[in-house]
Chain A
């Protein structure tokens, strides 16, 4: 099998919390708990989970913006956290990010040329002003904007257009991986559809790889090939999008899917019932124990490992 473009190996990330007492050892918050993932070139990988589950921490680590406490990330076979600063900087042109908030992620004082050309200035060989302008104009056309927009400023654009500018900025260095952290969450549905279509067109054209982080399950189902569901810093289920959405095995995935309100008003589907925890949660127990309606005695004392089940990986003793 082909080598994956991104390989995340047993990544842990601990954050130190503020101390309550002066001479106390700082308490630790474990944001990621042994994450293993492989993303292949030209595919879209979805990361799903509730807020605070570690989705964005994972994105930051894949982008080498944050160093993991343990474990590492391989990008095209190279260990990201074992490179010299200059080499890492050169490698950065191959992975770029599109952020959530198109209002916060573009500098309001810079014109579009300055914004989109910034990765070129910092990561790539020096280009003349005219060459730079031409490449930016080309890229703007590529994302559905006007080539003359280079002199405009972010406030002249709507939310959807700004997100297109952010995509142009990410694509200008011709990366192979785009990390999209909630990139369409802030957009209205009709504009969201335009941006999603654009992202899929660009993927086909440039053989791009997406790591697509979202809390919106229908968007993830639509755009991704494989999905990982994260709960409290651990992957609880991973598989192809089709299998995972059609036949979710982990109770958490099932809860998430059931919670999405159906657009058909006649379809009053089975709802999640409030859970009365059956067992007391300990440090050793399954992280989902207190919200699970299927918990048994084994779940209290042992945390389940991610086990393969007909091509789908699931971390649950009572999966079905």
Chain B
């Protein structure tokens, strides 16, 4: 059985335009040790999905569906039970190490917070555990004493502290929400290596959320592409990235300038996706992508597409999945 199963997850948030469904009918599952990527542009619901898994959504939001962690539906639990899962069995690395760390608390105290909360350890054992964690994330305690404050560290070092916090209780699932967006490429490479090394060595499942297709390609086995709160394509990373079927996935790939473009003769225009993401309260009745899609037909504008299973590991939510000729 899968470690985590998300079934028909819908999230409704209160906005200035009244309650709006920001995530509709998301399904995915992840096994122990598996690496799942969630990719999409800003506003597509990647981060809200992550927050729903951590039960960190604002109190006036409504969540439907099921989030089953090892046979137990998280959404039915009371807050103290959720508290014993959050940070303990599911760890999360947030995007901005600048804002996610408390600026007036020493890093040692911040890393030990979840250990003190979840693991019944003595003071000495806690300290040992923190030192072990610092070592694991590549911050040697002799150079980075535990009484440092976040402002004394660089962006990459702060992100390492965040990772130490997230893995403090050996969670079964690690959620990394844009862990490297604010970092330079060389630091990004180190942090991704660190995350992959840690999850591989301890058998943690990883949910990697990113807008960067390269990061997802290099770190995950399976991927879910999201657009305006819906999953549009899901499957193994190789299948989806090599043989994409949804026009949106294809559009995303055509829009990125490839390394090596300078070798091509002449100046090539990038293929951009026309138009823009529809606003929450203006989302159409049918497929949300229909307004920007070149192969949209009448049915696309009327009825939301259902999942079409192409192979065991590849499904697409589209009435007109791309064929080989479309991609030329």
CB within 8 Å of B: which residues of A? 50-51, 158, 160-161, 188-194, 196-197, 200, 215, 217-219, 221-223, 241-242, 245-246, 255-266, 268, 271-272, 274
Q: Is the CB of B214 within 8 A of A200?
A: no
Indicate if B319 sits at the interface (CB-CB under 8 A): no
Cα distance A197–B185 when bound, in Å? 24
**Complexed CA–CA distance, A245 and B258 (Å):** 12
Given A190-B251, A190-B272, A217-B185, A245:B260 Cβ within 8 A: yes
A192 to B41, CA, bound (A): 11
Q: Which residue from chain B places its CB closest to the CB of A274 in the assembled complex? A: B190
Offer 7 A-B interface pairs, CB within 8 angstroms, sorted by A: A161-B276, A189-B255, A193-B254, A259-B189, A261-B212, A262-B218, A263-B217
- On chain A, the residues within 8 Å of B81 by CB distance are none
| B271 adjacent to chain A (CB < 8 Å) | yes
A252 to B253, CA, bound (A): 28
- Check B215 against A192 for contact (C-beta < 8 Å): no
Question: At the interface with chain A, which of B65-73, B139-147, B235-243, B293-301?
Answer: B235-243
CB atoms of B256 and A263 under 8 A apart: yes
B267 within 8 A of A: yes
Whether A193 and B267, one on each chain, are in contact in the complex, defined by CB atoms closer than 8 angstroms, is: no
Chain B residues within an 8 Å CB radius of A158 = 276-277
Per-residue A-contact encoding for B176-220, CB less than 8 Å = 1, 0 else? 000000001111111011000000000000000001111101111
Known: A193-B255, A245-B262. 7 other contacts (CB 8 A): A160-B276, A189-B211, A193-B256, A218-B256, A221-B259, A241-B262, A265-B218
- Whether A271 and B189, one on each chain, are in contact in the complex, defined by CB atoms closer than 8 angstroms, is yes
CB-based nearest A residue for B214:
A261
CB under 8 Å from chain A, chain B span 135-194: 155, 184-190, 192-193
A215 adjacent to B185 (CB under 8 Å): yes
**With a CB–CB cut-off of 8 A, which chain B residues contact A260?**
185, 214, 259
Nearest neighbor of A51 in chain B, beta-carbon distance: B184
- Contact between chains at A263 and B214 (CB < 8 Å): yes
Question: Which residues of A lie under 8 Å from residue B1 when comparing CB positions?
Answer: none
Question: Measured between C-beta atoms, what is the minimum distance from B50 to chain A in Å?
Answer: 18
Contact pick for A188, options B211, B217, B271, CB 8 Å: B211
| Least Cβ–Cβ distance between B255 and chain A, in angstroms | 4
Task: Flag whether B77 is at the interface (Cβ < 8 A).
Answer: no
A255 CA to B190 CA in the complex, in Å? 12
Out of A191, A193, A259, A266, name the residue touching B188 (CB < 8 Å).
Answer: A259
The answer, among A50, A196, A272, for a CB contact under 8 Å with B270, is A196
Please, which residue of chain A has its CB at the minimum distance from the CB of B189?
Answer: A259
Binding site for A on B (CB under 8 A): 41-42, 155, 184-190, 192-193, 211-215, 217-220, 237-238, 241-242, 251-263, 267, 269-273, 276-277
Chain B residue numbers with a CB within 8 Å of A255 are 186
Chain A residues with CB under 8 Å of B212's CB are: 261
Q: Is the CB of A200 within 8 A of B267?
A: yes
A265–B185 CB distance below 8 A: no
Are A219 and B185 CB-contacts (below 8 A) given A188-B42, A266-B242? no
Contact indicator A190/B41 (Cβ below 8 Å): yes
Bound: A175/B193 CA distance, A = 45
How far apart are the CA atoms of A265 and B263 in the complex, in Å? 22
**Closest chain B residue, CB of each to CB of A267:** B217
Given contacts A188-B42, A260-B214, contact A245 B259 (CB under 8 A): yes
Contact assessment for A197 and B257 in the assembled complex, using a CB-CB cutoff below 8 Å: no
- Return chain A residues, CB-CB under 8 Å to B271: 193
Contacts of A221 in B (CB 8 A): 257, 259-262
Q: Report B250 CB to chain A, min CB distance, Å.
A: 11
Q: Which of chain B's residues has its CB closest to A160's CB?
A: B276
Interfacial chain B residues near A161, Cβ < 8 Å: 276
5 closest A-B pairs by beta carbon, nearest first, are: A261-B214, A222-B257, A193-B272, A193-B255, A193-B270
With A261-B218, A265-B218 given, is the CB distance from A190 to B252 under 8 Å? yes
Collect the chain A residues with CB atoms within 8 Å of residue B258's CB.
218, 263
Quick check: A219 and B184 within 8 Å, CB to CB?
no
Contact residues in A for B188 (Cβ distance below 8 Å): 259, 261
CA distance A266 to B218 in the complex (A): 8
In the complex, chain B residues whose CB is within 8 Å of the CB of A261: 188-189, 192, 212, 214-215, 217-219
Inter-subunit contact B189/A272 (CB<8 Å): yes
Q: Are A262 and B214 in contact (CB under 8 A)?
A: yes
A200 to B266, CA, bound (A): 13
Contacts of B237 in A (CB 8 A): 265
CA–CA, A191 to B276, complex, Å? 8
Determine how close the nearest CB of chain A comes to the CB of B44; give it in whole angstroms: 9
Whole-angstrom CA separation of A245 from B261 in the bound complex: 9
**For A219, what are the chain B residues with a Cβ–Cβ distance below 8 Å?**
257
